Amino acid sequence: MKVLVIDVGGSHVKILASGQTAPRRVDSGPDMSAEQMVAAVRQLAAGWDYDAISIGYPGPVRDGAPSGPPPNLGRGWVGFDYAGAFGKPVKVINDAAMQALGSYGSGKMLFLGLGTGLGSTLIVDGVVVPMELGHLPYKHSTFEDHVGEHALQRDGTDKWHKHVVDVVARLSAALLPDEVVLGGDPLAALSRPEVAKRVSYVPQAHAGYFPFTVRDVVLMGRTAHLSPFASPSKRDVAIAEACLARLGIDALAEHVYTRISGGERQLALIA
């Protein structure tokens, strides 16, 4: 069976079919209705052969159908006959749940999709639990209002990063996942150097064996951005300093890493 996968987002609708390698997309936005999405996808998928459709919907889903309106799109999504409109069997799933399944390995994983809003899904021992954490109260508004794309444009990169770190920490403390995945480009599509630039691992405890300063440890995070045998540039040092300040540990810059507390070491590794 060939399947057409539709990822409906607040900014774009992206599609890919079985046997195809290049996804296609079209703009969405706050005025797009379900009927307009179907018309756009039918035109976008012209020339592709598919037997069934899977839709990632940016809102709550119950019993295989949207159960609430999407916060960043238009009207007419709940109660719409998707199978009738496409003339094909259709399966609707929460968009964050769809992305989370592609990242899941085992155990308890929390997926957070940073996009137009904040998508969220918890997978526990293979059981998918879609969630709407983005709309929970946070700093006089919601989580989504502080980590979505509009927040990045409104608040700037530094403040947005602080909010992302804080939101991830709060949700991790509440849900106790074995792993947290932040949505973005699939790892399989990235080269090893790109993976090294974007993905890091922060252990629960890290002792360290050499008397590096905290600044030195943070600067080591720039290694993936350097050519072989190159030394950190002034720009790399400035980025490290900015990361220290962003996490509020700039006062520890000259402290020996092995002599600070476990929590401070974790912040240094995150920086």
Asked if 175 contacts 184 with a C-beta cutoff of 8 angstroms, the reply is no
Least confident of 19-23, 191-195, 260-264: 191-195
208's CB contacts (< 8 A; 6+ apart) are 217, 257, 258, 265
pLDDT recorded at residue 33: 96
pLDDT recorded at residue 200: 65
Residues forming a β-bridge with 13: 8, 26
Residues forming a β-bridge with 181: 111
Rounded to an integer, the average pLDDT of 59-81 is: 91
Whether 189 has a pLDDT exceeding 70, the answer reads no
% of the chain surpassing 90 pLDDT: 37
Q: What is the pTM (predicted TM-score) of this model? A: 0.60
Phi, psi torsion values for 53, nearest 5 degrees? -130, 135
% of the chain surpassing 70 pLDDT: 93
User: pLDDT tens digits for 90-149?
Assistant: 999 988 888 888 778 888 989 988 887 888 999 999 999 888 898 899 998 999 999 888
Rounded to an integer, the average pLDDT of 75-100 is: 93
User: pLDDT tens digits for 145-169?
Assistant: 998 888 888 888 778 888 888 888 8
pLDDT recorded at residue 15: 95
Rounded to an integer, the average pLDDT of 76-83 is: 96
Residues forming a β-bridge with 141: 138
Rounded to an integer, the average pLDDT of 248-264 is: 88
Task: List the alpha helices (DSSP H) in 137-271.
Answer: 144-147, 149-155, 157-175, 192-198, 214-220, 234-246, 262-270
CB-hemisphere CA count at 13 Å for 229? Answer: 0
Structure tokens at 55: 């839709």
pLDDT recorded at residue 185: 46
pLDDT recorded at residue 269: 84
Rg of the chain over Cα atoms, rounded to whole angstroms, equals 21
Name the helix (H) or strand (E) containing 16: strand 12-17
Rounding to the nearest 10 degrees, give the CA dihedral for residues 97, 99, 105, 106.
Answer: -20
Q: For the beta carbon of residue 86, count every other beta carbon within 10 angstroms.
A: 19
Rounded to an integer, the average pLDDT of 18-26 is: 91
DSSP 141-152: EESHHHHSHHHH
Rounding to the nearest 10 degrees, give the CA dihedral for residues 206, 208, 211, 216.
Answer: -70
113 against 48, higher pLDDT: 48
Structure tokens at 76: 């007419």
Q: How far apart are CA 59 and CA 71, in angstroms?
A: 7
